[in-house]
Amino acid sequence: MIIDPSAFRQFEHKGWQEIASRYDRGFASVTTQSVTPLLDAARVAKGARVLDVACGPGYAAAAAVARGAIATGVDFSSEMVEEARGRYPGIEFLEGDAEQLAFSNSTFDAVVLNFGMLHLARPEQALAEAYRLLRPGGRVAFTVWDTPDKAIGFGIVLSAIQKYGDLNVVIPPGPPFFRFSDDEESRRSLSAAGFVNIAVTRIPQIWHLPSPETLFDVMYNGSVRNAALLRAQKPDALEAIRLAIRQAVIEYGNTLPMPAVLAAGERH
Ligand SMILES: C[S@@+](CC[C@H](N)C(=O)[O-])C[C@H]1O[C@@H](n2cnc3c(N)ncnc32)[C@H](O)[C@@H]1O
């Protein structure tokens, strides 16, 4: 499949602009569970200069500041930057693209991306930028979702679409959503960007859903690629998908395993 990076970027950008104000009520209850291990993997400690890339509402930057670090957050969505500024007024949040950032070389001790890599048109370019921005010995760390057989929220939704709808509807093609869930691919990509001392681990997260309807609701109203996949289904199929997702969530007792893959490396 041929990826047009600027079309994919535009599709993601429009999506994030629209859902920024709803994000905290949706996926954030799970993505925030990764923040402590992410900062640990990047060895963020008091006094460290930290860049939180694809920062969304700014959770990782805020947690870094709580450790005594000096943090800046960047996101390409102006709506997300506004969310972050409103939530954490003492922290600097800027608009910026993970693939081309306006900072000088060797500015940071740590660069972190919490669930950002899987949304980028050219993730290799973001790793190259992280490398450029880190001082020698500085660390990058990123999280992504584990594969849908383990990150059950995605497994439920994709199985329901496969059974009652069509997984091959046309949405702007981007890099595979679960590309970096593969340990070897994460290692290979970090190594290709020049990073050494690479480690890939897993974070066992749990999504406690307030109701059986929440999973469909968050995917439909609070995500970008999965929302587009759902919105492209025919009305009858979408209703069957919604009911199948609801039933599966009930079978899991509204409590879904949503592990993350955490990859980290050091600038040479
Ligand atoms: C799943 S959210 C993660 C937000 C936050 N880091 C968290 O921990 O929950 C993905 C974020 O990536 C941002 N994003 C996507 N592509 C980007 C890009 N090319 N440059 C900067 N930010 C980007 C989106 O605007 C969104 O805020």
Which ligand 1 atom sits nearest the alpha carbon of residue 77? 25
What is the chain's mean pLDDT, rounded?
Answer: 97
117 and 180 Cβ atoms separated by less than 8 Å? yes
Cα 230 to ligand 1 centre (Å): 21
141 and 110 Cβ atoms separated by less than 8 Å? yes
Cα 200 to ligand 1 centre (Å): 21
What would the mean pLDDT of 160-183 be, rounded to a whole number? 96
Residue 223's CB: how many other CB atoms inside 10 A?
Answer: 21
Pocket test for ligand 1, best of 76, 81, 122 (most atoms within 8 A of CB): 76
For the chain, percent of residues with pLDDT exceeding 90: 99
Pocket of ligand 1 (CB under 6 A): 12, 16, 28, 31, 54-56, 59-60, 75-77, 80, 97-99, 114-116, 119-120
Cα 54 to ligand 1 centre (Å): 4
H or E element at residue 261: strand 260-267
Token pair in block for residue 2 = 């041929």
What would the mean pLDDT of 63-77 be, rounded to a whole number? 98
| E-state strands within 27-170 | 49-53, 70-75, 92-95, 108-114, 134-145
Task: Kindly report the CATH number assigned to the domain that includes residue 12.
Answer: 3.40.50.150
Cα 250 to ligand 1 centre (Å): 30
pTM of the model: 0.97
145 and 151 Cβ atoms separated by less than 8 Å? yes
User: Is 90 exceeded by the pLDDT of residue 19?
Assistant: yes
What would the mean pLDDT of 216-245 be, rounded to a whole number? 97
What would the mean pLDDT of 23-40 be, rounded to a whole number? 97
What would the mean pLDDT of 174-188 be, rounded to a whole number? 98
User: Is 90 exceeded by the pLDDT of residue 204?
Assistant: yes
User: Is 80 exceeded by the pLDDT of residue 211?
Assistant: yes
pLDDT at res. 159: 98
- What is the three-class DSSP state of 206? strand
Residue 211's CB: how many other CB atoms inside 10 A?
Answer: 11
Protein residue whose Cα sits closest to atom 5 of ligand 1: 56
Domain of 147? Answer: 5-267
What would the mean pLDDT of 44-67 be, rounded to a whole number? 98
Name the pLDDT band for 1 (thresholds 50, 70, 90).
confident
**Count of structural domains, the chain:** 1
Which ligand 1 atom sits nearest the alpha carbon of residue 34? 8
pLDDT digits (tens, 9 = 90+) for 105-147: 999 999 999 999 999 999 999 999 999 999 999 999 999 999 9
User: Is 90 exceeded by the pLDDT of residue 99?
Assistant: yes
pLDDT at res. 122: 97
For the chain, percent of residues with pLDDT exceeding 70: 100
131 and 111 Cβ atoms separated by less than 8 Å? no
